[in-house]
Amino acid sequence: MTANSAKALVLPLAVLAAFEVWARATHLQSDSLAPPSEIVMALFGAFADLSILAATRDTLFSTFAGLAIGTIIGLALGIAFGIFDTLNRLMEVTVEAIRPIPSIALLPIALIALGFGYRMEIVIVAFACVWPVLILSRAAVRSIEPRLMEVARALRLPPAQRVWKIIVPAALPRIFVAFRLSAGIALIVAVTVEIAINPLGLGAGIMLAQQALRPDLMLAYLVWIGAIGYALNVLLVVAQNRLFGRAALSGDGA
């Protein structure tokens, strides 16, 4: 840990310590707040009985599956729209009409059509993930160096090979940035679906802890979700740097 990152921790730790002292001094009685020490104990307890691990598995499964499906669909459409300008113009109204629909607004329909469980959550997460990937990959494809496309034409590469050998590798760093953006969205949407409807995963854990009048456990889940989100982002940044090196910087405007 560098001196700078240690310094950055001072303020949040001081706030937590102050909150702990205040909670103890005032004998805090709340169904929504708990002293940090109790939150830590609740987190250990949830690890000990494996409940938080099972919930993490459920949430991450839906997150990654939804992210995968959303990325594949978004990437395919983004590349197609990027290559074929006519298709892009034809679909623009449709895309712009569907894209603003909040994924969570689909919950009532999704519940009746798909029921509780992974399927419903994955569909909602995938819907949310399609758009950033679609928009960014379309922009990435359109900004490919024209000379590369000329090379493809000179080599008379068939369309599939043109996509596979030229377009995707050239646009990949920016596509990965879109993937990183979608990964954050996927986790947020998955937890929100669980809080709102789906009786599994970390979001459902928060709701159950709240209804059981266990604010310490509820906040422990919240802290854990934050840690997962942070870890996911770090993992993706490391992967981005390792896979693309300096090329990653070209797309990292997000």
Give the three-class secondary structure for 117. Answer: coil
Residue (81 or 244) nearer to another protein, CB: 244
Give the three-class secondary structure for 197. Answer: coil
Closest approach of another protein to the CB of residue 251, in Å = 13
Closest approach of another protein to the CB of residue 166, in Å = 8
Closest approach of another protein to the CB of residue 19, in Å = 15
Residue (13 or 105) nearer to another protein, CB: 105
Closest approach of another protein to the CB of residue 104, in Å = 14
Residue (36 or 215) nearer to another protein, CB: 215
Contact 42, 216 (CB under 8 A): yes
∠ CA 171-172-177, rounded to 5°? 105
In the block, residue with structure tokens 């760093």: 173
Q: How many residues belong to the chain?
A: 254
Residues lying near another protein in the complex (CB under 8 A) are found at 29-33, 61, 64-65, 67-69, 71-72, 108, 111-119, 122, 151, 155, 164-166, 168-170, 172, 195-197, 199, 204, 207-215, 243-244
Residue (169 or 226) nearer to another protein, CB: 169
- 103 DSSP assignment: G
Cα separation of 46 and 38, whole Å? 12
